[in-house]
Amino acid sequence: MKTSLLHTTGTARGALAFYSACCAVVLMSAGAPAFSQDEAPPPKASAQAGPQSPGPVEPERWNLYYQATSIGQYHPGFTSPYSGPFSLAGHPEAEASLTSTVFFGWQVFRNTQLYFNPEVAGGRGFSGTNGVANFPNGEIPRADTATPKAYLARLYVTQDFGFGAEREEFDSDANQLAHSRPMNRYSITVGRFSAEDFFDNNRYSHDPRSQFMGWAVMYNGAWDYAADTRGYTWGWVHEFHTKNWSFRYASAAEPTVANGGRFDRRLFRDRGDMFEGEFRYKLGAHDGAVRLLNYENHADAGTYADAILLAKQKGTTPDVTATRRVGTLKYGFGVSADQELAKDVGVFGRLGWNDGKTESFAFTAIDRLATLGVSVGGARWKRPNDTVATEVTVNGISAVHAQYLATGGSDFLIGDGKLRYGPESIWESYYSARLLPWLFAAVDAQHIANPAYNRDRGPVWVGTLRLHVETGKK
């Protein structure tokens, strides 16, 4: 008990010191008022169509935005009769993360844009970012390095080919130049990006820096999207866009191993293919959208049934990595919808499903998912830039996946050594307040039942404090 207490105290003190340093960096990073003369809209890393302008905008040749986000989290001790190599620790933990990003955009030609995002990230997640499939901090780099490191987040070029004379106007934003684009267009994007920049968008839940922080809430957790440990990949995206609907396709590099940092170059055999249709509409004066997603991944991955069979033959613990084969297929489907009900009030939801038989490879260990939530803006209490929101996400795994974990197997982020299966469910709520034109603070609470699908462990409460800076120069 003494050793555990000392460990907990030391961890909490270390995390508090790191979080204090992160907060100082976040605040100092925006301390130069000359960096932004105009009040900028919230930066969004997503390359999907961002804020549209109701009227003509003055085209800009370039823009520069910046964000810094620090997240501090704590969970108390909880019921934990046993643990495995990838379990969430049963004793209290306090951890913190920091990210800092520069967003540079350049209008090369009238219908050609280039975007460049260098980024710095560091910190630690609970238990080495293990033990919860719907992990509570969407900003934590899964490489789990406490020391902040610089890397290339995005570098891509987008070329539009227009059809017809009609154009739509866009305001200046992170990774979006103020300019007009053809209303009916075919666009090609090539370079380094995150797949969620273009797919699985949702108005109320798509950015852990300003919205919900759970992994399976910010994106569809059953979508094992192609990415390295930091969430980025190399590839291309094709999109045909009209006023009310869009269809997009992408092909991107998969990592060489699950949650790996290097990419498989055998793209004709191993890659992630994504397809999505989006329909936009109005109910009265209120905007709504529905998106249907399909993905098909080919990777050097294993299967849970083969791992169980091999373990029985050898009398060992099942290991899905021992059954890897080049070109193994994993496929799935997703639905994302959001609907404004009244001014500053909206509801949203997601559904996700994948085959459940193939190794969890790039994102997280979720085979089934359902999310429902509501978001309310602060205009009703004279805080128009504040947001309060709540959601419930229930995620599960297939029968063979559960059997694999129950017999001692592990994925790259969950594995308690044994399992009494139950769906992992998380209720998350947050309040985000704009304190200054460039500074937002949020408090967030998450209740996790059956962490890593284990009814023998938990429940767990997670408390979060987030500081977010955003600024830019047009």
Question: What CATH number corresponds to the domain at position 194?
Answer: 2.40.160.180
Alpha carbon 227 to its chain's center: 11
CA separation, residue 437 to residues 46, 98, 104, 247, 469 (Å): 21, 20, 21, 36, 9
Compute the average pLDDT of residues 352-375: 96
**Is the pLDDT reported for residue 34 higher than 70?**
no
- pLDDT band at 21, cuts 50/70/90? low
**Is the pLDDT reported for residue 333 higher than 90?**
yes
Instruction: Determine contact, residues 291/277, Cβ cutoff 8 Å.
Output: yes
- pLDDT band at 32, cuts 50/70/90? very low
Instruction: Determine contact, residues 392/212, Cβ cutoff 8 Å.
Output: no
Query: Which pLDDT belongs to residue 28?
Result: 55
**Is the pLDDT reported for residue 53 higher than 80?**
no
Query: Which pLDDT belongs to residue 4?
Result: 37
Q: Domain residues for 411?
A: 2-473
**pLDDT tens, position by position, 81-92:** 999 999 999 999
Sign (positive/negative) of CA torsion 234, 240, 245, 249? negative
Lowest mean pLDDT, pick from 127-131, 144-148, 416-420:
144-148
**Is the pLDDT reported for residue 49 higher than 90?**
no
Average pLDDT of the chain to the nearest whole number = 89
**Is the pLDDT reported for residue 444 higher than 60?**
yes
Virtual CA dihedral for 434, 438, 441, 447, nearest 10 degrees? 100
Query: Which pLDDT belongs to residue 145?
Result: 73
**Is the pLDDT reported for residue 27 higher than 70?**
no
**pLDDT tens, position by position, 371-423:** 999 999 999 999 999 999 999 999 999 999 999 999 999 999 999 999 999 99
- Going by their DSSP bridges, the two strands 368-377 and 185-193 should be labelled as unpaired
Compute the average pLDDT of residues 286-303: 96
Tell which wins on pLDDT, 440 or 31. 440
Sign (positive/negative) of CA torsion 447, 449, 453, 455? positive
**pLDDT tens, position by position, 243-258:** 999 999 999 999 999 8
Query: Which pLDDT belongs to residue 369?
Result: 98
Virtual CA dihedral for 195, 199, 203, 208, nearest 10 degrees? -20
Tell which wins on pLDDT, 141 or 433. 433
- Going by their DSSP bridges, the two strands 62-75 and 271-283 should be labelled as unpaired
**Is the pLDDT reported for residue 211 higher than 50?**
yes
Tell which wins on pLDDT, 108 or 30. 108
Query: Which pLDDT belongs to residue 140?
Result: 85
CA separation, residue 155 to residues 104, 146, 192 (Å): 10, 25, 5
Query: Which pLDDT belongs to residue 58?
Result: 85
Query: Which pLDDT belongs to residue 374?
Result: 98
Query: Which pLDDT belongs to residue 121?
Result: 93
Tell which wins on pLDDT, 473 or 392. 392
Task: Give the tokens for residue 440.
Answer: 């937002």
Find tokens 């496929």 and name the residue: 331
Helix (H, G, I), strand (E, B) or coil at 17: helix
Lowest mean pLDDT, pick from 35-44, 204-213, 282-291:
35-44
When divided into structural domains, the chain yields a total of 1
- pLDDT band at 146, cuts 50/70/90? confident
The pTM of the full predicted model, rounded to 2 decimals, is: 0.88
**pLDDT tens, position by position, 165-183:** 999 999 999 999 999 999 9
Query: Which pLDDT belongs to residue 52?
Result: 60
Residues of the chain with pLDDT > 70, as a percent, come to 87
Query: Which pLDDT belongs to residue 248?
Result: 98
What element of type H or E holds 448? Answer: strand 439-449
Q: What is the DSSP letter of 379?
A: G
Query: Which pLDDT belongs to residue 418?
Result: 94
Task: Give the tokens for residue 264.
Answer: 């498989």
